[in-house]
Amino acid sequence: MRLHNALLPLCLLAAWPVLADARGLEVRDLVKLDRVSSPTLSPDGHMVVFAKRSLNPETGKALTGLYARNLLTRDLRPPVRITPEGWSVNSPAFSPDGKTLYFLSSQSGTQQLYVIPSTGGMPPNQLTNFALDIGSYKLSPDGKRLAFSTETFAECKADFACSKQKLDDTAAGKASGVVYERLFVRHWDAWSDGRRSRLFVATLPTGKGSLVTSAQSLSDTLEGDVPSKPFGDSSEYTWAPDGASLVASIRVAGSSEPWSTNFDLYRLSLDGGAPTNLTAANLAWDTGPVFSHDGKTLYYRAMKRPGFEADRMALMAMDLASGQTRELAPRWDASADGIVLSADGRTIYTTAQELGQHPLFAVSLDNGEVSNVVGAQGTVSAFDLAGDTLAFTRSSLQSGDQLFVTGADGQSPQRAITSSAGEALPDVQFGEYEQFHFIGWNGETVYGYLVKPWNYQPGEKYPVAFLIHGGPQGSFGNGWSYRWNPQTYAGQGYAVVMIDFHGSTGYGQAFTDSISRHWGDRPLEDLQKGWAAALKKYPFLDGDRACALGASYGGYMVNWIAGNWNEPWKCLVTHDGVFDNRMMGYSTEELWFSEWENGGTPYDPKADYETFNPVNHVADWKVPMLVVHGQQDFRIPVEQGLGVFTALQRKGIESKFLYFPDENHWVLKPDNSVLWHDTVNDWLKQHIGQ
């Protein structure tokens, strides 16, 4: 079903008066808020464990601990911390009997596996002592073995000390030069050192105090990373129910890896047999394997079009005896994020974007029918299912992730386990938000969000921050961000307008597809019509005091706007944006992205890198612009930002360049985030007031 022409009820929150001692959200509130993640249920569903990241304001260092809540009690006591103070941990997982809890920590100097009683109360027991960091892991179904990933050199195989020695020898060498023979010399924010992430299996110790130091290699014959880089995780591999094999998603592409999206599912046997490619017939992306309870069916997610990273992820089922595959919900025009199987094996739970929201869905394996589980509003970022208990984290435009528990069918009352941002910051008043829609490109319905300033009063006029999302196949939906958060602008007294232009995700695959080879026309038409619709619908918007801001594709669009729609704006902010589209095609690392979006390589006469190239319109630039870029951004290299700043300075246009030598495509360090927000807010205040 195509959803982008459907009407969605407005989600305007009830208005409330501005309290005398209230204030708006600011960046220092944002960075100090605790961050909740990784909801993990015990096998019986009676306990939930979750991770909470807290910032030490004195040191500026963030640590993540694990907390537990007994769900059989109804008292109001807060969850109990079960990992030691001062430790930073991640990736919790219960043993099959629920009595112990595993997690990763770098407390020993390298990231290793630890275990504690699920109720806490005892010091963690270290289980592994490998020479390298464990990147991810999964326990075997019987809890006796460990599948894990770590980065190794091919020639070292399962000899971790060998890989460590090679790293040490390189660091101690007098010469610093590196010779490369193929692309992916750098990826996201790291230069290649020759290692790949590979999968291994080890038997866990039975006695306390013994440490695992060796393992069996599973994937060293396959030239590919598992999990994938840079953001892959343990959802990309899984144990078979009988514990005799694993299935992993791996891209084996050789020299074509930087322009290939062909990930296949490989069956990796523990008996030493050769890996078996289960999805060789599909030349696009296959990932997220999950076995049926009886081990006869493999569920997974798959794209159809090679080279297109934003294609729809369909839910698939493979009969392992015959190799036959089928799509489970072909009428559902959404892209599934993951797979969790219900206790009875008849339902898949998954999240997906839908009309500016990110709900949790249940997909029937009997008939492919899809239903919403916990309500349509907000963004469900993570969830876990155990028996009849469902735990999930959900955020909105007014709160970061909050942990809830309910019944597996979503019909029971939702019980909050952690506090909302409003409860954590009782003196902060958040801007009310509302979703609106209008007719955009091609006569189709386009959605956007309006966030009022925190101190909104009827009859007053407010300057506007016009935020443009990245991707471009992304969305500024009803969710919380620690980087581009509209409440930080509302907290400064600005109204915020955000448009999910053609190309955005969550409105049907055709809507997402429409931006490819049309970066500068269809989205721009939506932004122009959305801006006009917002001004007409919300008379408190001051159209004469507005600034357009964006990052990544949003930064590209700001650079494009500077030469093609600069009339409404008193200032612009471009962060890590494409300036020269052709040079982007030669310098970015994931080449499949530029080549798909532009119709080929930069030297292909059929491709079009110039029609919507911002560098060709610098002559028409005139609006003051703040440029932001990070040195470690290898997706859109820093020279793109320097080019923008050079053009502005050479033309004598008021401009500034905020440079981060230690940030990538995102600004992640707390102090850098504060500087980013302060610099952007000062720029807005200078040009559109406050």
419 in catalytic set: no
**For residues 342-368, average pLDDT:** 97
pLDDT in tens, 177-194: 999 999 999 999 999 999
Whether pLDDT at 133 is above 50: yes
Whether pLDDT at 20 is above 70: no
469 in catalytic set: no
pLDDT at residue 568 in the model: 97
pLDDT at residue 60 in the model: 82
Residue 427 included in any domain: no
pLDDT in tens, 91-101: 999 999 999 99
Percent of the chain past pLDDT 70, that is, above it, reads 97
pLDDT in tens, 206-259: 877 789 999 999 999 999 999 999 999 999 999 999 999 999 999 999 999 999
Residue 354 near residue 374 (C-beta atoms within 8 A) = no
Residue 624 included in any domain: yes
- What whole-number distance in Å separates Cα of residue 636 and Cα of residue 622? 24
| Cis preceding-peptide flag for 227 (omega within 30 of 0) | yes
SS3 (DSSP) at 681: helix
- The range of the structural domain enclosing residue 583 comes to 433-688
pLDDT in tens, 366-418: 999 999 999 999 999 999 999 999 999 999 999 999 999 999 999 999 999 99
Whether pLDDT at 515 is above 90: yes
**Which residues on neighbouring strands pair with residue 350, listed in sequence order?**
361
pLDDT at residue 15 in the model: 46
Per-residue CA distances from 673 to 261, 272, 475, 669, 679 (Å): 33, 48, 21, 6, 10
Whether pLDDT at 13 is above 60: no
With a CB cutoff of 8 Å and minimum separation 6, the contacts of 467 are: 476, 484, 486, 489, 496, 497, 498, 549, 550, 554
pLDDT at residue 18 in the model: 61
What's the mean pLDDT when you consider all of the chain?
95
Residue 111 included in any domain: no
**Which residues on neighbouring strands pair with residue 446, listed in sequence order?**
438
pLDDT at residue 5 in the model: 32
Residue 17 included in any domain: no
**Which residues on neighbouring strands pair with residue 424, listed in sequence order?**
none
- What whole-number distance in Å separates Cα of residue 239 and Cα of residue 223? 21
Whether pLDDT at 3 is above 60: no
**For residues 466-474, average pLDDT:** 98
How far does the chain reach from its first CA to its final CA, in angstroms? 44
Residue 445 included in any domain: yes
pLDDT at residue 587 in the model: 98
pLDDT at residue 646 in the model: 98
Q: Where on the phi/psi map is residue 66: left (φ > 0), alpha (ψ -120 to 50), or beta?
A: beta
Whether pLDDT at 426 is above 90: yes
| Cis preceding-peptide flag for 230 (omega within 30 of 0) | yes
- Among candidate residues 225, 526, 576, 633, the one labeled active-site is 633
552 in catalytic set: yes
Residue 611 included in any domain: yes
3-state secondary structure 475-502: CCCCCCCCCCCHHHHHCCCCEEEEEECC
Task: Give the confidence band of 19 by pLDDT, cuts at 50, 70, 90.
Answer: low
Q: Extract the tokens encoding 206.
A: 């039975």
Phi, psi of 254 (to 5 degrees): 60, -135
**For residues 592-604, average pLDDT:** 98
* The amino acid at 169: D
Residue 333 included in any domain: no
**For residues 662-690, average pLDDT:** 97
- Among candidate residues 187, 469, 575, 665, the one labeled active-site is 665
107 CB neighbour count, 10 Å cutoff: 17
Whether pLDDT at 86 is above 80: yes
Whether pLDDT at 9 is above 50: no
**Which residues on neighbouring strands pair with residue 147, listed in sequence order?**
138, 201
Residue 358 included in any domain: no
pLDDT at residue 523 in the model: 98
pLDDT at residue 11 in the model: 39
- Range scoring the smallest mean pLDDT among 150-159, 202-211, 457-466: 202-211
- Among candidate residues 38, 514, 552, 655, the one labeled active-site is 552
Number of domains comprising the chain: 1
Whether pLDDT at 14 is above 60: no
Task: Give the confidence band of 17 by pLDDT, cuts at 50, 70, 90.
Answer: low
CATH number of residue 584's parent domain: 3.40.50.1820
**For residues 459-465, average pLDDT:** 98
pLDDT at residue 373 in the model: 97
pLDDT in tens, 263-317: 999 999 999 899 999 999 999 999 999 999 999 999 999 999 999 999 999 999 9
